[in-house]
Amino acid sequence: MLKGSSPADWGDALDNLCEVVKPGGCIIIIDNTDRSSFARALLARCQMVRTPGGVELWSQENDRPLVARLANIRELTRRLGQWL
């Protein structure tokens, strides 16, 4: 869900996930962080877009757009905290 959202809409996508989770349910987010060695390797060959939710790395794979979002864990935690 978050991977398919545009850079400007990542927060809305996260809010939508929180709105539809059942009471007592949970959301599991598995992502790379914006400080990982994976991020540094990708930065060298991708177009980088910074968002409050992290860094997005855009490239082309087989003539199709490909994006990897490297999460800003502090901002995701802050944003999710308003739903607790």
pLDDT digits (tens, 9 = 90+) for 31-84: 656 566 766 666 677 888 888 888 887 887 778 777 777 788 888 888 888 887
pLDDT of the residue at 72: 86
Q: In what order do the strands lie in the sheet with 64-71?
A: 32-33, 64-71, 54-61, 47-51
24 or 54: which leads in pLDDT = 54
Please list the residues that pair with 50 across neighbouring strands.
55
Quote the pLDDT of residue 7: 60
Treating both helix axes as pointing N-terminal to C-terminal, what angle do 73-81 and 10-20 enclose, rounded to 10 degrees?
40
What is the pLDDT averaged over residues 22-33?
Answer: 68
Is the pLDDT at 1 greater than 50? The verdict is no
Q: How far is it, in rounded angstroms, from Cα 75 to Cα 80?
A: 8
Region for 14 from its dihedrals, namely left if φ exceeds 0, alpha if ψ lies in -120 to 50, beta otherwise:
alpha
